[in-house]
Amino acid sequence: MPVITFANPKGGAGKTTAALLLAIELAGQGKRVAILDADPEQWISQWAALPGKPESIRIVKGANEEALAAQIEVEHARADAVIVDLAGTAGRVVARAIGASDLVVIPTQGAAMDAKGGAKAVRLVRHQERMTRRTIPYAILLTRTNAAVTSRAMRRVQDYLATAGIPVFETTIVERAAYRDLFDIGGTLAGLDPAQVSNLDKAQANARAFAAEAMGRLETPASVPAPRARPGPIVAVPSVRRASPHPTPPPSSYTSPDRCRSASPDRP
Ligand SMILES: Nc1ncnc2c1ncn2[C@@H]1O[C@H](COP(=O)(O)OP(=O)(O)O)[C@@H](O)[C@H]1O
Ligand SMILES: [Mg+2]
């Protein structure tokens, strides 16, 4: 069953958080999920040690390159979804996992430095595509976005990604206390107390939208491959709006970051 890898050589990009959100969402839908915890920090394994882990989520601690490849094979055969949470490096384990993936999610925060990490992850995917001689669907997932406004830095990152023809999730992962609480309290979003956690319903809706889009990207992999333009340095990209298809932004340049515009060439 599908192997979905979360990769970005930059630490703190939101890989582990997004990986866990997808896992608990799929488990909530009754799917058997295996999470390969290939991050030396083992945050997912620490979460699993807390109470409330759904029975249908198996945690497999990732080891070296060879072990990871074998683990992916085994879990691929018996789980409904295999989620690989990678370390913030660009080593051989990362390359191997990307090469074995049906979808690579590249969580990226909305600032130039973070987008550079995202661009590096894109290059890793494209390298693995050449090595394995197959298309590996991937998309940037903007993370820790502001629920109220889209910052100028975020806009620049979105423009840069669109200009470079890099696919981007329409759903962004909003900054939510609930997502942090998961790692403190354990369990799932449904298990958190709405009286204790602010905007829990919004956090749940956001996670659901992300999971739906991720699964959709698996079902309809990019029919048109992403342009192979090499992204230039993010900082050099001027914050010029593209002429279309984006209409005039709403008043006071407010846009909802839960659904950002798509830069994916397969999504008109
Ligand atoms: N959407 C989010 N809302 C709130 N906190 C977040 C969110 N995404 C990540 N964080 C926090 O940011 C830090 C880094 O996130 P993490 O998912 O561990 O990134 P990575 O796995 O890429 O290193 C963690 O403390 C995490 O709790
Ligand atoms: Mg991590």
Closest ligand to Cα 37: 2
Instruction: Name residue 81's beta-bridge partners.
Output: 33
How far is CA 169 from its chain centroid?
A: 8
Spell out the domain ranges in the chain. Answer: 3-253
CB of 42 sitting under 6 A from ligand 1: no
Q: What is the pLDDT of residue 51?
A: 97
Closest atom of ligand 1 to CA, residue 175? 3
The pLDDT score that the predictor gives to residue 62 is 74
- CA torsion 40-44-50-54 (nearest 10°) is -150
Which positions ≥6 away from 99 have C-beta within 8 Å? 128, 131, 132, 136
| Beta-carbon contacts of residue 218 (< 8 Å; ≥ 6 apart) | 2, 4, 102, 103, 137
Q: What is the pLDDT of residue 31?
A: 97
pLDDT at 60: 94
CB of residue 181 inside a 6 A radius of ligand 1: no
Determine the pLDDT at residue 232.
47
Q: Where are the alpha helices (DSSP H) in the chain?
A: 15-28, 43-49, 65-78, 92-99, 112-132, 152-163, 177-185, 200-219
Q: What is the pLDDT, as a whole number, of residue 88?
A: 85
Helix, strand, coil content of the chain in percent (nearest 5): 45, 15, 40
CATH number at 3-253: 3.40.50.300
Q: Global pTM?
A: 0.84
- In angstroms, what is the span from residue 245 Cα to ligand 1's centroid? 32
Q: What is the reported pLDDT for 26?
A: 98
pLDDT of residue 115: 83
Ligand 1 atom at minimal distance to the Cα of residue 43? 18
Tell me which residue has tokens 């206390």: 177
Which residue from 5, 6, 17, 198 has its CB within 8 A of the most atoms of ligand 1, so it is best to mutate? 17
Closest ligand 1 atom to 11 CA = 23
- Binding site membership of 210 for ligand 1 (Cβ less than 6 Å): no
Residues of the chain with pLDDT under 50: 223-257, 259-268
User: 165 CB under 6 A from ligand 1?
Assistant: no
Q: What is the pLDDT of residue 235?
A: 41
Cβ(12) – ligand 1 distance below 6 Å: yes
Q: What is the pLDDT of residue 255?
A: 41
